[in-house]
Every structure is written in C-alpha cells, then in structure tokens.
Structure 1
Amino acid sequence: MRPVEIADDVIRLGQLLQLAGIVDSGSDAKFLLAGGEVVVDGEPETRRGRQLHPGAVVEALGETVQVVRALD
C-alpha cells in the first residue's frame, strides 16, 4: 500500500486517482469508475466526486493507495 499525501482534509476520488498517477486525466478516471474498476475501503465505487478523507484506502488497476494528510 502506497501513501498519497493531500494538503487538505478532503480530496475527491477523481483527483486522487490523478494525484496517485493511476490515471492521466479526469476523463480516464470517469471511464475507470464507470467500468467498476475502483474500490474504496473495500466497496466498489462509481462516483468520481466521492469525497475521501485521510485513512481512506483506494484500489484500482492493481494498485492500492491510502490517503494521508501531508505534514505542514
């Protein structure tokens, strides 16, 4: 599991997929989510705008990342 640091308390799922390098663009994220290829905290997720908080675990395309709050 690879940590992905965020500066704020929340990030949207589509943004996280891009930040983690799993997808290159928002449209790529949309297609990945529509295909049921993304799991958040053990549950399939299709909403690109889902808000994620530190501690959330996301699985997609064989990668697993965990949202962590960046230290100031």
Structure 2
Amino acid sequence: VAMLMWIMMGILPWAFKWISVLFSLIPHYAIAFILDAKREGELRDIYLMFSEIKWIFPQGIFILMLVF
C-alpha cells in the first residue's frame, strides 16, 4: 500500500499538470456554451467551479483530492 501511495504521489502531479494544460488549450467559454446548450445546469456549474478553482491555483483538483 505504501509503495502504491508513493507511485501515485509521483504520477498524480504530472498527470494533473497535463490535464491543466489540456483544459487551458480548450476555450472555457466554448465548453460552457456547449454545456448550456445541453441544458445540463448542474454539470455546467461543476465545470465553472472547476475552472475557477483552476485559475485560483492550478493544483486545485489535487488539493481537493487530498482533502477528500
């Protein structure tokens, strides 16, 4: 278990860096518009919350995972 945790701690920051890069390449307004067009209000709110967290601190999702 300790070995698995050590491996995950090595992989996760790298993975989240690339996820952050991918999300920064996609225009936020375009995704918000698509989600709005599908009338997925809850999903849109979650996405907007994610983008706000990402702009405040890029490792926001990683910190959230540590909290939960």
TM-score (norm 1): 0.28
Higher relative contact order structure (alpha carbons within 8 Å, sequence separation ≥ 6): 1
- Could you say which structure has the higher strand fraction? 1
TM-score normalised by the chain length of structure 2: 0.29
